[in-house]
Amino acid sequence: MELDTIHWYPGHMVKARKMVQENLKIVDVVVELLDARIPVSSRNPAIDDILGDKLRITVLNKADLADKSQTEKWKTHFTRERGYPCIALDSQQGKGINTLINTAQSQAQDIIQKLISKGRRPRPVRLMMVGIPNVGKSSLINRLAGKGSTKTGDRPGVTRGKQWIRVGKGLELLDTPGILWPKFEDPEVGFRLAVTGAIKDEVINIEQVTVKLISLLTEIAPQNLMERYKLDKLAPDPYDTLKSIGAKRGCLVSGGNIDTLKAAVIVLNEFRAAKIGMFTLDSI
């Protein structure tokens, strides 16, 4: 089934990209957040071009929602084949945060050493987050800004008007993350972004996306679907499965018909919360 076209606005992309490029000049390390469930689809395709040879750490965020063995494979891929340190994170619970802090510090060690060898005072390593909407940039910033952190305020001169958050000793973080849009001309990428919540629900057709999701799950994880919704079997047509789920969950409209939109919202939310299972949709 074809999904309706999802629109994005090139104007926004250009503006966001400019802002990232501006901030790139004042940071040492960029933390590139990807959604662990879709490490390819959640990447901005121009990221390599934008970041150039800037030091970079790839974070597979929301790892708590993804397939663990796939996350391991993706970590190896990014670390060995692309040559960036790659860390799996759960920014909601803070799992993996210390590894990120240590990695950032060792990444930028040479930069700080160079300052010292020139007789300058060592300064904290400066970080910036970048990633697509909803990938968890703010959650990660809040996590890092947790206990013991303080806003370091404006720094006139070098970084006019920028707010830095001190993350423990020797590390600080730009408080405004860079938003980079994904590219979803490919309907399959659009589907993966929609189903994981990267695209606002207002601009997607929830029923269509969910029917496609049910079709996918029928193929890759029928047992999970049947167990979650207490179904004895799955129908050949995923729309019929959606109706059965609606019936099980009491999604009815007057006349006894199934409210399929209501059922779709339930399935989509439960999938996003990994209640149906932990899935990685971009497989390696």
Residues near ligand GTP, by CB under 6 A: 61-62, 64-65, 89-92, 131, 133-139, 179
CA pseudo-torsion sign 187, 189, 192, 195: negative
Closest CA to 63 of 41, 94, 32: 94
Min dist CB 51 to ligand GTP, Å, is 17
111 exposure class (CB count in 10 Å sphere: 0-12, 13-18, 19+): middle
Which partner in Mg ion, ligand GTP, none is near 62 (CB below 5 to 8 A by kind)? Answer: ligand GTP
Nearer to ligand GTP, 14 or 253 (CB): 14
d(CA 171, CA 20): 19
Three-state DSSP class for residue 105: helix
Write the CB contacts of 248 (distance below 8 Å, at least 6 apart in sequence). Answer: 229, 230, 231
Nearer to Mg ion, 137 or 228 (CB): 137
CB atoms within 10 A of CB 127: 27
Three-state DSSP class for residue 51: helix
Which partner in Mg ion, ligand GTP, none is near 212 (CB below 5 to 8 A by kind)? Answer: none
Min dist CB 73 to ligand GTP, Å, is 19
Nearer to ligand GTP, 139 or 241 (CB): 139
Told to check if 163 binds Mg ion by CB under 5 A, we report no
Nearer to ligand GTP, 206 or 252 (CB): 206
Min dist CB 42 to ligand GTP, Å, is 10
Nearer to ligand GTP, 85 or 238 (CB): 85
Which partner in ligand GTP, Mg ion, none is near 136 (CB below 5 to 8 A by kind)? Answer: ligand GTP
Which partner in Mg ion, ligand GTP, none is near 92 (CB below 5 to 8 A by kind)? Answer: ligand GTP
Vertex 173 angle, CA 21 and 169, to 5°: 145
Min dist CB 259 to ligand GTP, Å, is 25
Residue with the two structure tokens 């000049």: 25
160 exposure class (CB count in 10 Å sphere: 0-12, 13-18, 19+): exposed
Min dist CB 170 to ligand GTP, Å, is 24
Residues 112-141 that bind Mg ion (CB under 5 A): 137-138
Closest CA to 32 of 140, 112, 125: 140
- What residues make contact with Mg ion under the rule CB under 5 A? 137-138
